[in-house]
Amino acid sequence: SLQAGLAVLLKAERLFHSSYHSQAVHIRPVCRVIHQFAQFPCGGFPDASCLAVSWELRQTLTVVFDTFSSGQGKKDWSLFKMFSRTLTDACPLASQSKVYVDISPKNKEKELLEVTPAPTSVHEAIVQGDKRTYAVYDLLSPSLFNTSRSLNVQLKWKRPQDSSELPTPILHAQRYVSGYGLQTGEISTLIYNTHPYRAFPVILLETVPWYLRLYVHTLTIITKGKENKPS
């Protein structure tokens, strides 16, 4: 149902006019009951030792909004500005329903940004070698909707920020098409790691149009001028 929970924000008019959106469905087998005397190297399980298998379905929706350009050079944003809707309650079937807002301080200046309303909790995690702080809004928390039946998460900067201070992500990518036709056409993807010393594992997911035929045996990966074999 699109009448409750985070699905309320899925308004096609807003999603399809964003800078980027991607929908995906992941299905995988998960062993529910394993033979108690079996030993499994490398974390896997043979078919003979798995007594019961369940299928896990995971649906994801990724959307990128260019709020800096649409907001006349301001970094302020809110759920209503992006989706033209707010959250009213959690999905009655959901065991978890949370909104995470990245409030990591830049140059240790926490006083620069303000997130409203007050989050139900704060979560810290290590992402790509950096410590990140997230404001967490738990839609299942009874106190979240006590004051209002509508949750409109907003982030405001207390003083104007220089537009040139937009941070460059540690990992970023570019993709371009060269040549033409099935014989000379190529798709090239450039992945950049700007971290001064750390290497990161990369999982590359390519979205290919239905009319474009790719030949896996022609895949080449070049790292620092040398060919690199993928795992």
Structure confidence at residue 42 (pLDDT): 52
Give the pLDDT band of residue 57 (cuts 50, 70, 90).
very high
Residue 84's region, left for phi above 0, alpha for psi from -120 to 50, else beta, is left
Question: For 76, what's the count of Cα atoms within 13 Å in the CB-facing half-sphere?
Answer: 13
The number of angstroms, rounded, from the C-alpha of 84 to the middle of its chain's C-alpha atoms is 21
Average pLDDT, rounded, for the chain: 81
Q: Which residues contact 168 (CB under 8 A, 6 or more apart)?
A: 194
3-class secondary-structure state, position 48: helix
Contact indicator for 129, 195 with CB cutoff of 8 Å: yes
Per-residue pLDDT band for 71 (boundaries 50, 70, 90) equals: low
Tokens at 3, concatenated: 């009448």
